[in-house]
Amino acid sequence: MKDGTKSAEPVGLVCRRCGCRHFFVTHTEPIKDGAVRRRRVCRHCGAKYVSLETLTGDPAWSQFVRKKDGADGP
Ligand SMILES: [Zn+2]
């Protein structure tokens, strides 16, 4: 039985508010060294997160930070 990898979303990305794994990407911002910052909004509860993805080292989320509604800091 082979499944569990059919989703394009990186493993480990789970909404800390409602526990779902589905997010809208609202913004993608290249940073440097191949790193990309993406802003995501939970499809279910609307919680906002910012992820920092790097090509070097860990291919998954290097950071997964919850943002308060309206917060738009660096
Ligand atoms: Zn949620």
Q: How far is the CA of 71 from the centre of ligand 1 (A)?
A: 17
Q: How far is the CA of 23 from the centre of ligand 1 (A)?
A: 8
For residue 64, pLDDT over 60 is answered with: no
User: Ligand 1 centre from 16 Cα, in Å?
Assistant: 7
Using CA atoms, how far apart are residues 51 and 36, in angstroms rounded to an integer? 8
In this prediction, residue 43 carries a pLDDT of 94
Query: Distance from the CA of 33 to the center of ligand 1, in angstroms?
Result: 30
Q: What is the pLDDT of residues 32-61, one digit of tens each?
A: 877 888 889 999 999 988 888 776 655 445
Q: What residues pack around ion ligand 1 (CB closer than 5 A)?
A: 15, 17-18, 42, 44-45, 47
pLDDT, position 73: 47
How remote is the C-alpha of 19 from its chain's centroid?
Answer: 13
Whether residue 7 is predicted with pLDDT greater than 50 in this model: the reply is no
Residue 5 has a pLDDT of: 47
Q: How far out from the chain centre does Cα 42 lie?
A: 9
